[in-house]
A and B are shown apart, each in its own frame.
Chain A
């Protein structure tokens, strides 16, 4: 590892649900000021790991080390907005916990950046799905966090909203130095945003590989040969995990 300061470190994490072991001796670290991505297919334990790292769930064993009592913020897979509060009130609700409720300029900036400046006084049900997700995202940044946990924030969004949000996260992260821990199942998403990618696989019950993306984030295009090669590598890793179905050929022929 480089001499970058670690903000969060997970050592030898184990987690089972009844008899099902999900994570086994897992090690992971998030450095100050980076976008660290956890990439894995469905069922690989991404959300479990996310919840353990974020302190929302306890591990069966292992150690979680936080440096300098960092302030965490969260962007959940589906927006968790208070339906009886307006967009601005939703931000103030979390800001109050850190004495930041008077930071109106910050709120205004976030509303402007996310294109929600005309919807400050709207209730969540008056916003589209994409707008709600944007509100969920800026709520996280409204508490001036040290580390933001993003759990598949783009999952159910259209292409344009995805690009917009990616741009927004990238800009705020670059200029503020806030660390980000992003969970996704989409290799492209990971390659376009992350400085470092952990590949999680159910088969290993832990990290399969760690990839560093050196290219400056602003210039990244999937068509770039280097990035494309990395995408290919990731795809190969996932393909190698898919089980062989040849054994069923005879049965399929017979039974159909």
Chain B
């Protein structure tokens, strides 16, 4: 949180609010609602219970798909690192998946699963997050200090301890960085998929607000999305980063 609460950032935020308020004063609230109107819309969705309900739905989908992508990404990275034939076969495939625009995956998901509430967002999050996790972990494995492993082997360290006490701590910084980048992708993909092909979740609420021209609600939901992302990035992940790099010379 320390990195987040810095004086220049708060100053910038005040400037943004001032510009927002000033701009909104001269424009129709359909184009740009004021801070007060957006706050009012936020209060409404909170009181009505839609906020908590939609938030939980989106979060659940994100966590399921993100968790699966993390697990699959780590296993895939370990396998491709260990077996060069697998690496030569599947490495380009990961790049192809990564290079395909998310909108293609959503379109395909709609074709394959229909407007399925859970499946389309989960499919998109998984497909978008997996390469991010894989690439980071794979790179971490490739850059691993083999001298330490040789030292441990020379001192007759059992394989399981080498895995636990050398591989894992070596990979933690790469893993945390992967978790951080992939979560941002996952969270945005979830909302995107819900926007296009779902009847629940924050993305769906955004789509409804959009079709109803309720710009104040669009802003309210955006605030919720951004605040949650900031909480994850600057609080949860920051804590995790500080924990795994406590032995580093920063």
Contact = CB atoms under 8 A, between A and B. Distances in A.
Interface of A: 54-56, 72-74, 76, 80, 82-85, 93-94, 96-98, 123, 125-126, 143
B249 interface: yes
A94 B161 CA distance: 11
Contact of B166 (A55, A82, A126, A143): A82
B44 interface: no
Interface string B117-144: 0000000000000000000000000000
A125 B250 CA distance: 10
A240 B216 CA distance: 89
B247 A76 contact: no
A97 B158 contact: yes
Given A80-B147, A80-B148, A84-B169, A73 B249 contact: no
Contacts of A72: 154
27 contacts: A54-B154, A55-B154, A56-B150, A56-B154, A72-B154, A73-B155, A74-B155, A80-B147, A80-B150, A80-B151, A82-B148, A82-B165, A82-B166, A82-B169, A85-B165, A85-B247, A93-B157, A93-B165, A94-B157, A96-B161, A97-B157, A97-B158, A97-B161, A125-B248, A125-B249, A126-B249, A143-B155
A126 B150 CA distance: 23
Contact of A83 (B151, B152, B158, B248): B248
Interface of B: 147-148, 150-152, 154-158, 161, 165-166, 169, 247-249
Contacts of A83: 247-248
Given A93-B152, A94-B157, A125-B248, 18 more contacts: A56-B154, A72-B154, A74-B151, A74-B154, A76-B151, A80-B147, A80-B150, A82-B165, A82-B169, A83-B247, A84-B247, A85-B247, A93-B157, A94-B155, A123-B247, A125-B247, A125-B249, A143-B155
Contacts of B157: 93-94, 97
Contacts of A82: 148, 165-166, 169
A80 B165 CA distance: 14
Main DSSP-derived SS at the B contact region: helix
A76 B147 contact: yes
A76 B165 CA distance: 20
Nearest to B153: A56
Contacts of A74: 151, 154-155
Nearest to A125: B249
A86 to B, nearest CB: 8
Nearest to A86: B247
Contacts of B156: 97-98
A93 B149 CA distance: 13
Contacts of B150: 56, 80
Contacts of B158: 97
Contacts of A125: 247-249
Nearest to A73: B155
Contacts of B154: 54-56, 72, 74
Contacts of A126: 249
Q: Name the 5 nearest CB pairs between A and B, nearest first.
A: A125-B249, A80-B151, A84-B247, A94-B155, A84-B169
A55 B148 CA distance: 16
Nearest to B145: A80
Contacts of A96: 161
Contacts of B248: 83, 125
A94 B166 CA distance: 12
Contacts of A80: 147-148, 150-151
A54 B161 CA distance: 22
Nearest to A89: B165
A94 B154 CA distance: 10
Nearest to B148: A80
B147 to A, nearest CB: 5
Contacts of A76: 147, 151
A38 to B, nearest CB: 18
Nearest to A95: B155
Contacts of A93: 152, 157, 165
A95 to B, nearest CB: 9
B238 to A, nearest CB: 19
Contacts of B165: 82, 85, 93
A71 to B, nearest CB: 9
Contacts of B147: 76, 80
B192 to A, nearest CB: 38
A76 B155 CA distance: 12
Contacts of B151: 74, 76, 80
